[in-house]
Amino acid sequence: MKQTNMNKKSGVGNLRLISGKGSAFLLFFSCVALAVMVLLVAYDVLLRNFFGSAMNGVSEYVSEWLMPATVLFALAYTEYKDEHIRVTLIEDAMPRGPEAALKFMGQLTVVAISAVLTWSSLQLAIDSFGIREAVPMGTDFLPVWPIKVAVFFGWVWLTVQTFSKLVGLLVHPPQEEPAGEVDTVVGCESVGDSRG
């Protein structure tokens, strides 16, 4: 029995490790896209203000390539680090059992939504690749099908990451946190509060 439990834990640990490494890999490309976006926009602003001319295609590159890469490649890492914005007033006020069930149902919903978005993104990527989709950029065209294919992989990895977190909730349910006083007005916990 103990061996089976250890295998479950190491399997979940491996899944979390793989999903975390993949998320960090995509985060690197998100950071590169963000840096390139900042440099392009700064260069364009300098050209406009000091030389009265603009760089052709900056808004197209930013809106069609760099912004989607910046946002969607960082989503899985944000999920891995558990840094998404959330409101936990109701969850914090619940007893341990219902709170764990609520977290599980919430994570299951996130997995389902990210799977639907992945499927939809696959359809968009296939259609875009099939017609070699491009958008006008001055007198030229900017192909957008490569970023749509890349965005699909971003959604895939978000789904993998959310599934990894769901499995982690099944195998290792959330533990009780240290008791502290709860400020009922704002829902904040303060450990070691010295009020009378």
Q: Using one digit for the tens of pLDDT, what is the confidence trace for 26-52? A: 999 999 999 999 999 999 999 988 888
Mean pLDDT of 143-149: 91
Separation of alpha carbons 114 and 23, rounded Å: 15
Question: Which pLDDT belongs to residue 189?
Answer: 46
Mean pLDDT of 57-69: 89
Residue-wise pLDDT for 147-160, tens only, equals 999 999 999 999 99
Separation of alpha carbons 64 and 9, rounded Å: 42
Residue, of 154 and 193, whose pLDDT is higher: 154
Q: Measured between alpha carbons, how far is residue 190 from residues 31, 86, 143, 194 in Å?
A: 35, 19, 53, 10
What would you report as the CA-atom Rg of the chain, rounded to the nearest whole angstrom? 22
Question: Which pLDDT belongs to residue 2?
Answer: 46
Separation of alpha carbons 116 and 183, rounded Å: 39
